[in-house]
A and B are shown apart, each in its own frame.
Chain A
Amino acid sequence: MPTIILKDTTLVGNITEKDGFTISGIFKGNIKAEDAILEQESEVVGNIAAEKTAEISGKVLGDVNAERVVLKNTADVKGKLSHKSLIVEEGAKIQIVSSTTKK
């Protein structure tokens, strides 16, 4: 079962997950996972490294490194992005430096 953090939970520290990582709570630290899903109410301060997809609908202050980065319309992201493909939905709040890596 992948990791799921609900919004009543706060984590401070670093996590390494080989499966998916879903959060709607608060996380302070670095996240490393296969897929990282940051729900609308989530707040992450720290770097995110996802092997496949990083889907962000919440707030992120930190760098995001993933094959595919999806910023949903409720996303609020500040940091450096590194990806093979980037999707930004209309309405997303961004303050990013983005770079595409080779396919």
Chain B
Amino acid sequence: MFFSNSKKNSSVKKNNEEVVGFSHIGQNAKFEGEIDSKGEIEIAGKVKGNINAKIVKILETGLFKGKIFAKEVFFYGKVSGNVYSENVNVSKTGFVRSNIYYSGIFGIEDGANFSGKAVKQKKDQIVKSADKLGSKTGSVDKIIPFKVA
């Protein structure tokens, strides 16, 4: 079949090699849908949907609407929607309209525009609430990519 070897190949490669660098959604890009990454993702364009990644950065030109499940989150741009992450950082250029559920550190820089709840929770509670909201992976630690049917 067309994709018959793909799963075997990709899983072997993913185990052996670690990806260096980060994925980037460009300034002129518009994306709607789910993003699932084992590493870092940077958003400079417009994105609507959910993100599941280790590190998420919404850059100054970035505009994001949706839920974020991550270990590390940096906001330099505009964000709305719930955030579930160990550590969350809002920069002075950040414009955030979100409820933030974190287990580690939540930082807001002087000058940041933030409106919403910031709730410190235990790590497993964050995973649970992520589960409730229908996160595809259900775990902040384990990030499993979608299967291509």
Contact = CB atoms under 8 A, between A and B. Distances in A.
* B interface bracket (residues with beta carbon within 8 Å of A): 20 to 34
Contacts of A9: 23, 35-39, 41, 53, 145
A41 B13 contact: yes
B129 interface: no
Contacts of A17: 26, 28-30, 45
A41 B49 CA distance: 25
A75 to B, nearest CB: 13
B38 A8 contact: yes
B19 A1 contact: no
A1 B22 CA distance: 13
Given A11-B35, A28-B146, A29-B33, A61 B3 contact: yes
B54 to A, nearest CB: 9
Interface of A: 1-21, 25-26, 28-29, 41, 43, 45, 59, 61, 76, 78
